[in-house]
Amino acid sequence: MSNFGPIDTSVLYGQLNHRTEDVSENPDTTLSVRRGDIAFFRVLQLAPRHIRVLQVLQNMGFLGVLQCGHVEIDTHLITALVERWRPETHTFHFSVGEATITLQDIAILWALPVEGNLITGIDTRCSTARICAMCILGGVLCPDATGNTVSLLYLRHMENIHEQYVSNWGSAVLAYLYRELCTASQRGKNNIGGAMQLLQIWAWSRIITLAPIE
């Protein structure tokens, strides 16, 4: 029987609960991806946002995400990456070594701000531009278990949307992605949330043989 786990478990001590333990018994363990952005981007195609809304999104640091648009998710690629993710080190373990997605990747691929105030708290105020930003958060950056709702805690950081952004959205997105990867890498898990578009684009840019051919 093939051994899908580590040779030395002194560092990778969580192998018994890792999803690779199920591969030999059930090879088809493809994860489903939670996302809520499909309808959002369909609406944008029919009714593009006003220039003032786009300016607000740029001030907040979300314009790069919006410009990337809708990306089809390769669930088999995401599953393969999750199977190589180790919660003990927060890195992907490949045959050639370890790698992980960082704040620098988020800043380059999505132009999200990686400096500024941390994302905490709760508020209940909203507006047209804030609604668009919340759709990006709930549909692309941090989709939750439902795939169609978003927490109101982010609104506290959208009070001064007409000023240059000061919130560290990049760190929040990366922390959420790490949590989802750690959760999905456990045995018995069948779905994953978080910034899967970002993870897939990162994989394409770092492992060029995986990138689609135009």
List, for residues 140-196, the tens digit of each pLDDT value.
777 766 666 666 666 666 666 655 556 788 888 899 899 999 999 999 888 898 889
pTM greater than 0.75 (yes/no): yes
| Distance linking the first and last C-alpha atoms of the chain | 39
Burial 24-42 (b: 16+ CB within 10 A, else e): eeeeebebebbbbbeebbe
